[in-house]
Structure 1
Amino acid sequence: MKERNLLQYLMVSLRGLAMGAADAVPGVSGGTIAFITGIYEELISSLSNINLSALKVLKAEGLKAFWKHINGNFFVALFGGIAVSLITLSRIIVGLLEHHPVLLWSFFFGLVIASTLLIVKTIQNWNLANIIGLIIGAVIAGYISLAQNTAGQANEYWYIFLSGAIAICAMILPGISGAFILVLMGSYATAMNGLKSLDFALIAVFASGCLVGLLSFSKLLKYLFAHYKNLTLAILSGFLLGSLLKIWPWKNNISDVPYLVHSDGRAEFMQANVLPQNYNGDSQLTLAILLVLAGLALILLMDRFAPKETS
């Protein structure tokens, strides 16, 4: 692993701040930021070093050798930056979700559309299996998006743990947004509120899920990308397409009775997607369209200036 001085570790933390900002926003991938800033390969390599061999090093050579083996200083600098960024941005995002939901979801909508286009572009062979995979992914995500029961589960610790385990795998993949996974699973608002209020019990459960995901699911994803890359990307593209139903900016309550009341008094109601002209409130259509375009432009510009992989 690389030897660094204090200033260089500070630069790693700054990259972590950028990754945390990306991971807080559906449609932007922290993995993409890691790739753009040149630390992606070191991150994946360091994660792969957390295995049984690392435990053998700990037993045979002690804590110092173990820490060096897993690149511990790198992890502390990087994930420290990510944590600071997530906690800071969560306060802003929660405020926007409460007071400007149409505008925030419009921006997210543009981010996800652009992310879908970029992932589809990377699929090298559109055969029947990949087309079916895309359709299956879209149908599953669409069904999940229209289901109303996940938000109730999103407050249960087992579901928060599962959400963290799945979302972290997306967070470390370029082009796939972990925050988007949380939105799809109905856990995004819960996670953001937990970070904003420093709910340490919720944060600990979520972080534990992330740790399990890093050490287990990430290996499965690595295998799938190594052996079934195009099919995996096709299914992920379908998931992104289907999720657009979840993040459609204009929703009306279909019941006056909340199905969930949070401990802080926030109430959640059953909702249905509607056209802007049927929205019960100011549709802010012009500004919403501009924010969709801004989200599209942000992702496309990030892709434009990202270093390209060489074969």
Structure 2
Amino acid sequence: MPNRLQQTKSLQPAALLAVRSAIGGGLMGLANLVPGISGGTMLLAAGVYPAFIGAIAEVTTLRFRPRSLLLLASVATAAGLTILLLAGSVKSLVQDHRWIMYSLFIGLTLGGVPLLWRMARPATPGLFAAATVSFGLMAVMAATSSAGGGADERSLTLVFLAGVAASSAMILPGVSGAYLLLLLGQYEPILETIDQLRRGVVGDGTAGPDVALILDAMWIVVPLGLGIVVGVVGVSNLLRWLLERAEKATLGALLGLLLGAVVGLWPFTESPDPTPGQFGGATAFVLAGFATTVLLGRLGGTGDDEG
């Protein structure tokens, strides 16, 4: 019998599924530009994460259902356009307004907790144990990571491996693909390359596309893209296998990852003594982000109350 996560994708009309998938894909693309923010969390918050995992598993086993193709196309298109158009801007926003952006992303991340909890209930000891372990792992990673990097390393093998690692993390709620890129020293070079590709495609306003700029960017974009495909396919199939055989423990682990991700997002690491105004503003952004993802998660319902 299908579990609750698998039932989710069959309960939404096609139009609503496309809208939610596009919203989730856009948020996923935005999240994957920011170290510490999980793209999987955004899909979870939009209510399409289980269907996304199932759709990838279906396509990779050569089962091409229209709903699965619609979902994947909506997510991929929205995420790709968001990343292409906003890579340069998001990098600047995070650098110049870190406490505002991180406060917002804390709220966006925590907003996925109620949805995942509804999917996981009734709770079991195994669920709590898995959540505790995964929370601890995320907290340790956040506390011990130097989050350094930024070396302009152009090794194609390293870029491919970075794509595999980042995309594997990308679809796990609570695990940030951009965060891993930062640890691997590939975050800034890859964002710069994506922005270079955008400039090459749109031109400088006085001429058409810059083919030389595009071709130079493709030396990084192609191996990165191949690595992303390998990572997404591998992890999505593993997750589906785990959900079919150990649903509660897997959901507990995802819940722990989601909560643990917040540990590394304290917005005042660079200014440890925030003013009352900053602290109040940060609280407002957290609440705004939380409300946004809770509303997204409730859009159209999740179907977990059935039966």
* TM-score, reference length from structure 2: 0.67
Change (3 A) 1:84 1:240: same
Which residue pairs with 1:197 in the alignment? 196
- Is 1:147 the counterpart of 2:157? The answer is no
How is 1:77-88 mapped onto 2 (pairs within 5 angstroms)? 79-88=76-85
Which residue pairs with 1:94 in the alignment? 91
Q: Which runs of 5+ in 2 are unaligned?
A: 1-14, 32-36, 198-216
- Cα contact 2:25–2:74 (8 A) shared by 1: no
Q: Which has the larger radius of gyration?
A: 1
Amino acid in the other structure paired with 1:196: D
How is 1:135-284 mapped onto 2 (pairs within 5 angstroms)? 135-149=132-146, 151-152=148-149, 156-157=158-159, 159-170=161-172, 176=173, 180-185=175-180, 187=182, 189-190=187-188, 192-198=191-197, 199-252=217-270, 274=272, 276=274, 284=278
Supply the RMSD in Å over aligned alpha carbons: 3.9
- Cα offset for 1:144? 0.9
- Cα offset for 1:181? 1.9
In structure 1, the residue corresponding to 2:112 is in which secondary structure?
helix
In the alignment, the residues of structure 2 paired with residue 195 and residue 80 of structure 1 have an alpha-carbon distance, to the nearest angstrom, of 15
In the alignment, the residues of structure 2 paired with residue 104 and residue 75 of structure 1 have an alpha-carbon distance, to the nearest angstrom, of 28
Aligned pair partner of 2:294 in 285, 291, 300: 300
Change (3 A) 1:289 1:35: same
In the alignment, the residues of structure 2 paired with residue 161 and residue 286 of structure 1 have an alpha-carbon distance, to the nearest angstrom, of 38
In the alignment, the residues of structure 1 paired with residue 68 and residue 106 of structure 2 have an alpha-carbon distance, to the nearest angstrom, of 37
In the alignment, the residues of structure 1 paired with residue 70 and residue 110 of structure 2 have an alpha-carbon distance, to the nearest angstrom, of 37
Change (3 A) 1:18 1:112: closer
Aligned pair partner of 2:281 in 281, 284, 287: 287
- Cα contact 1:46–1:70 (8 A) shared by 2: no
Which residue pairs with 1:35 in the alignment? 48
* TM-score, reference length from structure 1: 0.66
Comparing both chains, which one has the higher relative contact order based on Cα–Cα distances under 8 Å and sequence gaps of 6 or more?
Answer: 2
- Cα offset for 1:13? 8.4
- Cα offset for 1:205? 3.1
- Cα offset for 1:33? 4.0
In the alignment, the residues of structure 2 paired with residue 21 and residue 237 of structure 1 have an alpha-carbon distance, to the nearest angstrom, of 22
Which residue pairs with 1:131 in the alignment? 128
In structure 1, the residue corresponding to 2:123 is in which secondary structure?
coil
Change (3 A) 1:113 1:75: closer
Amino acid in the other structure paired with 1:243: A
Number of matched residues?
A: 256
Change (3 A) 1:221 1:98: same
- Cα contact 1:142–1:242 (8 A) shared by 2: yes
- Cα offset for 1:42? 8.5
Amino acid in the other structure paired with 1:112: T
- Cα contact 1:102–1:288 (8 A) shared by 2: yes
Change (3 A) 1:161 1:169: same
Which residue pairs with 1:49 in the alignment? 59
In structure 1, the residue corresponding to 2:149 is in which secondary structure?
helix
Change (3 A) 1:194 1:167: farther
- Cα offset for 1:21? 1.7
- Cα offset for 1:94? 1.4
